Structure 1
Amino acid sequence: MNNIQRIELETKGIILSQNELSIYLEEVGLNPTVEYMPYNESNKVQIYQAALSILESVANNPTLMKSVKLDDMTVSDFADSIQSRIDQLERKVRTMKQNIQSANESSVFMLFDN
């Protein structure tokens, strides 16, 4: 599975062209055709950042935010749902970045130096 296939998994239901997905991935520093490495935490963070950018773009589309009535049922929760998902992804990205930084920092220091 390459990075573009992984971002498609993360953003199911949002239909974008391969070129558009490639741009989102390149903006966060990922090559779309390179194999996705699930064990690499920074790769995961970049995928989530790209997904966050895609969701923010969708949230900026005013035609999707209007109320729609289908068979006596109002579908107006789309804006709330997408904002909730954006907030979740932002928290996840921040947490993962902190975990990566703390893993890279050493907990041992030199008390005495010659």
Structure 2
Amino acid sequence: MTNSERLLMEIKGIDLTPDEINIYLTENSLNSTDEYIPTSNTNKRNILKSALSILESVANQPALMKDYKQDDISISQFHENLQNRIDQLEIKIRQIPDDANTYQDGASFFMMFAN
């Protein structure tokens, strides 16, 4: 599976051209044709960052921020649900540890104050 295919799994239902997908992946230090490495936290984080960028682009389209009704099906609160998904992705991205800073017990730390 390539990085591009993995990103498409994350953003199901959002139609983008291959060029647009390549741009989002490149902006997050990924090549669309490279193989996706599920064991790499960095790769996983960059895929999620790409998905987050796409969702933020969708959120910047005011024409989509209205309630829809089609064939007795109401799709309401699109913006609110989209913002909730963006918030969930941001939290998930922050919780993924770095590949280089992963310790055996899974804990990581940083020095907040230095002399």
TM-score (structure 2 length as normaliser): 0.82
State the alpha-carbon separation in 2 of the partners of residues 63 and 93 from structure 1: 28
The percent identity for this pair of structures is 49
State the partner residue of 1:34.
34
Q: Which residue of 2 aligns with 1:110?
A: none
- Given the alignment of the two structures, is residue 68 of structure 1 paired with residue 78 of structure 2, yes or no? no
Q: Which amino acid aligns with 2:36?
A: Y
The equivalent residue for 2:25 is 25
Q: 2:87 maps to what in 1?
A: 87
Structure with bigger gyration radius? 1
Structure number with higher helix proportion: 1
The corresponding residue for 2:113 is: none
- Structure 1, unpaired ranges of 5+: 108-114
Contact preservation (8 Å) 1:65, 1:76: no
Structure 2 stretches lacking a partner, 5+ long: 110-115
Deviation at 1:63, TM superposition (A): 1.1
RMSD of aligned Cα (Å): 2.1
- The count of corresponding residues between Structure 1 and Structure 2 is 105
